[in-house]
Structure 1
Amino acid sequence: MKSSLLGFALCFWSFLAFSEAECTLKRSKCLGVNDPVCASDGETYASNCQFEYTLCKAHAKGNTLTKLFKGACDDEAKNPFCYMRCTRQYDPVCGSDNKTYGNKCTLLAARCQTVTLTQSHSGACDAGDSQA
């Protein structure tokens, strides 16, 4: 059992080392390219090449990253909830605008339009809820 765990650990480590080396090779090809792209982490990358390098590093760590659009991120893009797809699961929350949102994700997405929007409480808004 110990030998199989050790074998797995060595295999996993060599995979990560190879992945990091592969990412470094990708980065070396990015120098001098300037064609910005905006990613799901709200960061503007100098080029698609630089984004691919960061994506490679993210994948090596088990994380994900998505290219949103060509060009620099604006303030709205810096909020990842602005581009998040929300489920239709009904778990209502009441917003500070006295509006009931289907779930917390939809409230956070609405905050892209109204930056001051916050969650007042869990559950649907009552007719007597006051505006914040």
Structure 2
Amino acid sequence: MLKLTLYLGLIAVAAYAQINAGEQNEGTSVCAYIAGADCTIFADHIQCGTDAKTYNNRCEFAQAHCLEPELHFSHNGTCDPAVDKPDPNLHGSNLVYTFFCNNLKHIQCGTDLEIVCGTDMNTYDNLCLFQQAKCDDSTLEIYTYQACPV
């Protein structure tokens, strides 16, 4: 559990850095996590992609976006190829990161100590806790890899 938590934290930090750097693909680590997700356990949230395909939930959309980075979110609901045009309403990588953060919020971080100080001047015991906070505040960055100054 400890290794999984650390791994997820590192994935999220790397993914967010790549997404914020303007890259279209989230990186192989986040996509590897998403590719292994069991999308059948997620509630239905029907949405249409810019490929005019209907996805049952965000998990399925995220998996498809990882395979095709040019895929973006068009609208909620079923696609109608005769009517829908491929204009994106939301960049696919934003949905992928949101999906990742929503899952990370439900993970209990371990008690391992890998202390980091955030730019909010809060000390986080490990990267998992830091990443959970970063999912709530996208401007949060690592200030230093030690406790924050008092």
TM, length-normalised to structure 2: 0.37
State the structure with more CA Rg. Answer: 1
Query: Which protein has greater RCO, CA pairs closer than 8 Å, 6+ apart?
Result: 2
